[in-house]
């Protein structure tokens, strides 16, 4: 598929679905009305350098704890290891990756969710859509829950987690500089999981 042409020409508002549709429609409009595609990282045709460019955006683009490395070499090594053990999804604006989310390890009963969005695309609902894809695919893959480990002062990520039903398990204040909050989302009964198989017009808001 030509991702760029698909993003500019594919209107899914009247889609009735097919037996071959994925658990959640890959077509997504962000809060500015920009059409994006959300695809499995391994199926998206995104090369390693393009994904690395997403993360290598300078300290001003990073949250305080994610990603964990600042040098490009360090990021490359971390990202290679992460992709080897995780299932991931990428948000594409044309052929350009603007968001990436994973749950890892992909073989665990309760893998950990993580997400990173291009600084120029933040505040547009992309992290939430990537989270929805991870939730529904984790459920289809047979996982029991997703977990998150979030800095207690990371209000945007905590709000995102709360909006999707994550429950605070405990606060880890062992770090002398930053406290962390451990959260868990049971997948059984999740509103996002209940939307699996619904066509875009019937599913909840993106």
pTM over 0.85? The answer is yes
Determine contact, residues 116/66, Cβ cutoff 8 Å.
yes
- Of the candidates 81, 64, 67, 96, the one whose C-alpha atom is nearest the C-alpha of residue 179 is 64
Confidence band of 3 (pLDDT split at 50, 70, 90): very low
- State the Cα–Cα distance between residues 48 and 39, nearest whole angstrom: 15
- In the chain, where are the structural domains located? 3-7+19-194
Angle (nearest 5°) at CA 65 between 105 and 157: 80
The SS3 assignment for 95 reads coil
The SS3 assignment for 182 reads strand
- Chain segment 92-133, per-residue pLDDT in tens: 999 999 999 999 999 999 999 999 999 999 999 999 999 999
Thinking of the domain 3-7+19-194, which architecture would CATH place it in? Answer: 3-Layer(aba) Sandwich (3.40)
Bridge partner list, 170 = 182
Helices (DSSP H) in 149-197: which residue ranges?
Answer: 155-163, 191-194
Determine contact, residues 148/183, Cβ cutoff 8 Å.
yes
Determine contact, residues 185/147, Cβ cutoff 8 Å.
yes
């Amino acid at each position: 598929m030509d991702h760029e042409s698909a993003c500019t020409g594919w209107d899914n508002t009247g889609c009735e679905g097919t037996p071959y549709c994925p658990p959640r429609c890959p077509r997504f409009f962000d809060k500015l009305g920009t059409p994006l595609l959300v695809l499995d990282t391994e199926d998206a045709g995104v090369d390693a350098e393009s994904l690395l460019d997403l993360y290598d955006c300078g300290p001003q683009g990073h949250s305080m704890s994610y990603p964990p490395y600042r040098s490009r070499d360090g990021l490359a090594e971390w990202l290679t290891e992460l992709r080897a053990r995780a299932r991931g999804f990428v948000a594409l604006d044309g052929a350009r990756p603007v968001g990436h989310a994973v749950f890892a390890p992909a073989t665990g009963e309760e893998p950990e969710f993580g997400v990173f969005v291009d600084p120029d695309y933040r505040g547009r609902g992309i992290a939430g859509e990537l989270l929805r894809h991870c939730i529904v695919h984790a459920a289809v893959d047979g996982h029991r829950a997703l977990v998150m480990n979030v800095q207690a002062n990371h209000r945007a990520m905590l709000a995102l987690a709360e909006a999707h039903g994550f429950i605070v398990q405990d606060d880890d204040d062992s770090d002398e500089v930053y406290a962390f909050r451990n959260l868990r989302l049971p997948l059984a009964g999740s509103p996002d999981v209940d939307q699996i198989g619904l066509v875009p017009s019937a599913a909840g808001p993106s």
